[in-house]
């Protein structure tokens, strides 16, 4: 393993629970019945524990959208052509995509990263350039990436996360773009979670039944050809993963190291998260699951991570859309914690807890 990556993984600490009682006491002292704001109180508590702050600053939010192409797309696994990846990157940078609209709605910045798009985007302003290669190889013909490329992509994602955190962002959401990327995400989920491909494979961009069965057969074949080792997450990632998935893995690992919460989006982001957990079991304590994707493999990922979704809106767009919507609810919980008056401040009687 790359020495930088090894050091990153080993430097992730356990979430410090020493401040839990202080945070809970304040939540219980607010002008409301104890626990009456349910999950919002849980969000505030978890945010404080992750950041190790009993009085955290206001949220400064960003969604990191990693873009990459996939060799498997040449097998017709998506309802859209591969060129849509770079076209959507341009749309993100112009502010016209779903993620842009929802990020503006919750006040989050959108950072778009070319980590493996099969197109020359070097002259596009506003794009973060971290290209490892011009897309992955077709995993039906061998590994999607070399092991070195997979590690480079993880470290590239970590570097991007470190940059935005140093710029003042204190909560991150995962996003992605890559035509065909539900196929490697399904293969990767099957490998790491040790499930049958049919259990974790959905319809992606909305393919019909015949195309869905074809997609499952391709995933089964790719796993048989590459034989990813479920005990070696880098092996799994390199053989049947993708550059944007690896970037999300690195983003998560670096945020955990720097004690910054990450809100994980849907199925493709979940693939990056399960690789991160396989590399470091402490990772899920730093994560929020933004929403439950329609992609059925996402539930398997959440079980593996031990997380519950904040939202369930029948979404499957990706890009980070579900995660940024969840950012607004986490922020609401934190504002309750910070801004709501206590019983003492409001001169209100707390009442009888026995009632």
How does strand 108-116 pair with strand 128-129? parallel
Measured distance CA(97)–CA(89) in Å, rounded = 9
Q: How many CB atoms lie within 10 A of CB 104?
A: 13
CA distances from 114 to 63, 271, 324 (A): 14, 18, 20
Closest CA to 272 of 304, 303, 248: 248
291 strand-pairing partners: 311
DSSP track, 60-90 = -EEEEEEEE--GGGGG--SSS-TTHHHHHHH
Closest CA to 146 of 159, 160, 132: 132
Do the beta carbons of residue 252 and residue 173 sit within 8 Å?
no
Among the listed residues 319, 331, 347, 353, the single catalytic one is 319
Measured distance CA(344)–CA(86) in Å, rounded = 56
Closest CA to 320 of 61, 124, 43: 61
339 noted as active-site residue? no
Containing H/E element for 108? Answer: strand 108-116
Measured distance CA(337)–CA(40) in Å, rounded = 9
Measured distance CA(165)–CA(262) in Å, rounded = 11
- The structure tokens listed for 338 are 């910070």
Return the active site residues.
Answer: 319
């Amino acid at each position: 393993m790359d020495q930088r990556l090894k050091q990153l993984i080993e430097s992730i600490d356990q979430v410090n629970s020493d401040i839990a009682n202080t945070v809970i006491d304040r939540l219980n002292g607010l002008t409301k019945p104890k626990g009456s704001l349910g999950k919002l109180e849980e969000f505030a508590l978890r945010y404080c524990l992750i950041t190790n702050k009993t009085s955290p600053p206001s949220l400064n939010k960003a969604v990191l959208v990693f873009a990459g192409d996939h060799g498997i797309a040449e097998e017709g696994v998506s309802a859209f052509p591969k060129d849509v990846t770079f076209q959507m990157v341009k749309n993100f940078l112009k502010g016209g995509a779903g993620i842009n609209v929802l990020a503006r709605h919750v006040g989050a910045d959108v950072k778009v990263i070319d980590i493996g798009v099969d197109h020359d985007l070097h002259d596009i302003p506003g794009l973060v350039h971290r290209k490892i290669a011009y897309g992955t190889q077709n995993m039906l013909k061998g590994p999607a990436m070399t092991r070195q490329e997979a590690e480079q992509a993880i470290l590239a994602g970590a570097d991007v996360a470190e940059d935005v955190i140093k710029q003042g962002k204190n909560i991150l959401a995962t996003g992605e773009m890559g035509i065909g990327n539900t196929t490697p995400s399904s293969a990767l989920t099957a490998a790491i979670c040790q499930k049958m491909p049919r259990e974790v494979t959905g319809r992606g961009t909305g393919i019909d039944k015949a195309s869905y069965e074809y997609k499952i057969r391709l995933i089964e074949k790719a796993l048989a050809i590459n034989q990813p080792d479920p005990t070696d997450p880098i092996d799994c990632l390199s053989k049947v993963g993708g550059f944007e998935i690896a970037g999300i893995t690195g983003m998560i690992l670096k945020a955990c190291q720097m004690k910054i919460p990450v809100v994980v989006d849907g199925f493709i982001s979940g693939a990056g998260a399960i690789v991160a957990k396989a590399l470091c079991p402490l990772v899920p304590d730093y994560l929020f699951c933004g929403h439950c994707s329609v992609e059925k493999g996402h539930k398997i990922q959440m079980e593996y991570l031990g997380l519950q979704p904040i939202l369930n809106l029948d979404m499957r767009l990706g890009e980070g859309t579900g995660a940024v919507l969840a950012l607004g609810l986490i922020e609401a919980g934190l504002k309750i914690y910070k801004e709501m008056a206590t019983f003492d401040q409001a001169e209100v009687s707390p009442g009888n807890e026995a009632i």
